[in-house]
């Protein structure tokens, strides 16, 4: 997989790309990253990348000509001619979901476009393929959001995680029907009167699986009821009647 990063601060990514699973992916060839600054395509002797907004208002807006030139420069020298899918990192984008992460991780190349200042000239949106947001909040730039996209995608690349099944039984995964992950425990068996549930030490795999499923639905209903579907409610009702 290839990631093309368009950012005013490529140095922010240097330690990130050397750390943990992301660093492993870069080392073993699963991930290749190219970074460019819009400043290289800026206007005038000061390489300006922004300007005051038409109609007035606070702050500065990133220029469409500068950003599009930078995006097209990535495409012009794309390895093997594979152009990246252009993704604008913006709080106005679609919230990032695990199902979308899995789709993105299967693509050969992504271009992550990080904004700064008061945002982008609206016309930039006509030159990208999609817009992604981490949630309903605003940051000063798109770099942290881009890192989140990279790290979430890297986990799906072959040879990165020690156990490939790690991406299956976790919160929001399609395999768990989008539910939150069940509680996890390790040693000690008892810590200050807080004991590990007996079923987990029983060795009864069927009972453990049933407990984990029940706990996953209970936790989701408590913390993220918006993720609960009608079939989950029916299953929870069935579980409740059985416990009674």
State the CATH number of the domain containing residue 85.
3.40.1280.10
**148 and 178, same domain (yes or no):** no
Q: Is residue 199 located within the same domain as residue 142? A: no
Exposed, middle or buried by CB within 10 Å (0-12, 13-18, 19+), for 208? middle
**In a shared domain, residues 59 and 103:** yes
Reply yes or no on whether the pLDDT at 223 is more than 50.
yes
Decide: 85 and 132 in contact? Cβ < 8 Å.
no
Of all residues in the chain, what percent carry a pLDDT higher than 90? 84
Tens digits of residue pLDDT in 92-140: 999 999 999 999 999 999 999 999 988 999 999 999 999 999 999 999 9
CATH assignment of the domain containing 206: 1.10.1270.20
Cis ω on the peptide bond leading into residue 188 (within 30° of 0)? yes
Mean pLDDT, range 84-90, rounded to an integer? 98
Q: Which residue has the tokens 């009864």?
A: 204
Write the DSSP assignment of 57-108 as a string of letters. -SS-EE-HHHHHHHHHHHHHT-GGG-PPEEEEEEEEEEEP-HHHHHHHHTSS
Q: What is the pLDDT of residue 238?
A: 76
Tell me whether residue 161 is in a domain.
Answer: no
44 and 140 within one domain = yes
- Look at residues 154, 187, 209 and tell me which one is the last residue of a structural domain: 154
d(CA 116, CA 168): 35
Asked if residue 178 is part of any domain, the answer here is yes
Q: Residue 242 — pLDDT band, cuts 50, 70, 90?
A: very low
Q: Which of 76-90, 161-175, 207-221 has the lowest mean pLDDT?
A: 161-175
Mean pLDDT of the chain: 93
The residue from 104, 129, 154 where one domain ends is: 154
Q: Kindly state whether residue 109 falls inside one of the protein's structural domains.
A: yes
How high is the pLDDT of residue 165?
A: 63
Last residue of a domain, which of 154, 185, 206? 154
Q: How confident is the model at residue 233 (pLDDT cuts 50, 70, 90)?
A: confident
Question: What are the DSSP calls for 152-184, one per residue?
Answer: HHHTTSTTTSS-GGGGTSSTT-GGGTTPPPPP-
Both 137 and 207 in one domain: the answer is: no
Say yes or no: 27 and 81 in one domain: yes
In a domain, 162, yes or no: no
Residues of the domain holding 124: 2-154
Judge whether 160 lies within some domain: no
Number of CB atoms found within 10 A of residue 10's CB: 17
- Check residue 164 and give its pLDDT: 66
Into how many domains does the chain fold?
2
Among 142, 169, 165, CA closest to 38 = 142
Find the mean pLDDT for residues 10-26. Answer: 97
Q: Give the SS3 label for residue 218.
A: helix
Beta bridge partners of 38: none
Task: Give yes or no: residues 17 and 132 share one domain.
Answer: yes
> Is residue 130 located within the same domain as residue 209?
no
- 231 assigned to some structural domain: yes
- Residue 88, class by beta-carbon neighbours within 10 Å (0-12 exposed, 13-18 middle, 19+ buried)? buried
Clarify whether residues 142 and 190 are in a common domain: no
Average pLDDT of span 37-55: 97
Residues 25, 4: Cα–Cα separation, whole Å: 15
Residues 148 and 175 in one domain: no
What is the pLDDT averaged over residues 210-217? 96
Q: Would you say 42 and 66 are in contact if contact means Cβ atoms under 8 Å apart? A: yes
Is this structure's pTM higher than 0.85?
yes
* Residues 13 and 36 occupy one common structural domain: yes
d(CA 134, CA 91): 7
Give pLDDT, residue 168: 65
Examine the domain organization and report whether 90 and 196 are in the same domain. no
């Amino acid at each position: 997989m290839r990631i093309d990063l368009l950012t005013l601060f490529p140095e922010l990514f240097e330690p990130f790309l050397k750390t943990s699973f992301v660093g492993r992916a870069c080392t073993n060839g699963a991930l290749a990253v190219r970074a460019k600054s819009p400043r290289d395509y800026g206007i005038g002797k000061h390489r300006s990348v922004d300007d005051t907004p038409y109609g007035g208002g606070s702050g500065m807006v990133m220029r469409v000509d500068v950003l599009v030139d930078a995006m097209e420069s990535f495409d012009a020298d794309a390895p093997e001619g594979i152009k990246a899918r252009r993704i604008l990192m913006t709080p106005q984008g679609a919230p990032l979901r695990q199902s979308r992460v899995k789709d993105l991780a299967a693509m050969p190349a992504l271009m992550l476009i990080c904004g700064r200042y008061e945002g982008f000239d609206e016309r930039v949106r006509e030159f990208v393929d999609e817009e992604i947001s981490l949630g309903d909040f605003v940051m000063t730039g798109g770099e942290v959001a881009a890192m989140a996209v990279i790290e979430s995608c890297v986990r799906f690349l072959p040879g990165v995680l020690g156990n490939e099944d790690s991406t299956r039984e976790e919160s929001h995964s399609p395999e768990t029907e989008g539910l939150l992950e069940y509680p996890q425990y390790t040693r000690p068996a008892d810590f200050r009167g807080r004991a590990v549930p007996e079923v987990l030490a029983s060795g009864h795999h069927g009972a453990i699986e049933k407990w984990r499923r029940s706990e996953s639905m209970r936790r989701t209903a408590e913390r993220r009821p918006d993720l609960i579907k009608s079939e989950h409610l029916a299953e929870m009702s069935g579980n409740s009647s059985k416990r009674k």
